[in-house]
Amino acid sequence: MRIVLVGPPGAGKGTQAAFLAQNLSIPHISTGDLFRANISQQTELGKLAKSYMDEGNLVPDEVTIAMARDRMEQPDAANGFLLDGFPRNVSQAEALDQALKADGVELDAVLDLEVPEDEVVKRIAGRRICRNESSHVFHVTYSPPKKEGVCDACGGELYQRDDDSEETVRRRLEVYHTQTEPIIDYYRAQGLVVTISALGKVDDVTKRAMEALDRQVEGKDQSDEDKSDSEDGDDK
């Protein structure tokens, strides 16, 4: 399956992506995590990305699209992937469409996580993530680690992201509304969007997401069959 996950900062995209990717046996590809890995390795790409991320702005399309494409071309993504944080504006969505078309494949669903803004702010304020590559996500109140400051999964150090300050979060939300939300309409026109509430327990949201994805994929298969039947009919 090829899925795009969309939702405001702090909606729980990374949290849900970890479970959904495992359930669906596809890799979780997060452009935010890829940029953060570059920052911690102090690469040129990391230095460039940091200057945009610290302000809550999008990293320029040219480097972002190249990095995402490069990751999608890895062998583990040959049969599908779950994209988290990409595409993030209409030009990135168009670039993704072109790349998929060139490979003769298409997206199966765009899962839109809906969360009220006051909840997003609470989620971001308490978020702690693991410094190691796994990027496990915790919350000081909602999903605390067993030992404070230590990742349950790998023992890595937990830290608060530089872009989780109140001012930067405000800017990230503004960027989400102006630049990212338009991709929902872009994909709605392709019949790909499923919207779910991301409120409630993490497990309940995962269950809701899996059910919504199943329904979307069944509906898409049916409409592909109908299209092919009508094309056969046209030939007669």
CB-based contacts of 44-52 (< 8 A; 24+ apart in sequence): 50/162
In angstroms, give the least distance from the CB of 110 to ligand AP5. 14
φ and ψ at residue 77, rounded to 5 degrees: -100, 10
Member of 3, 50, 71, 85 binding ligand AP5 (CB under 6 A): 85
11 is in an annotated binding site: yes
In angstroms, give the least distance from the CB of 13 to Mg ion. 5
206 binds ligand AP5 (CB under 6 A): no
Q: What would the DSSP string read from start to end of 89-136?
A: SHHHHHHHHHHHHHTT----EEEEEE--HHHHHHHHHTEEEESSTT--
72 binds ligand AP5 (CB under 6 A): no
155 is in an annotated binding site: no
Report the first-to-last Cα separation within the chain, whole angstroms.
Answer: 33
Residues 16-35 that bind ligand AP5 (CB under 6 A): 31-32, 35
Q: Which does 136 bind (CB under 5 to 8 A by kind): Mg ion, ligand AP5, none?
A: none
Q: Is the dihedral of CA 50, 56, 59, 64 positive or negative?
A: positive
Tell me the site size for ligand AP5, rule CB under 6 A: 34
138 is in an annotated binding site: yes
8 binds Mg ion (CB under 5 A): no
Burial of 205 (0-12, 13-18, 19+ CB in 10 A): buried
DSSP state of 150: B
Residues 97-156 that bind ligand AP5 (CB under 6 A): 123, 126-127, 137-139, 142-143
50 binds ligand AP5 (CB under 6 A): no
State the Cα–Cα distance between residues 11 and 123, nearest whole angstrom. 8
Residues annotated as part of the active site: 13, 88, 127, 161, 172
12 is in an annotated binding site: yes
Contact indicator for 92, 61 with CB cutoff of 8 Å? yes
Tell me the site size for Mg ion, rule CB under 5 A: 1
Per CB under 5 A, residues contacting Mg ion are: 14
Binding residues for ATP: 10-15, 127, 137-138, 200
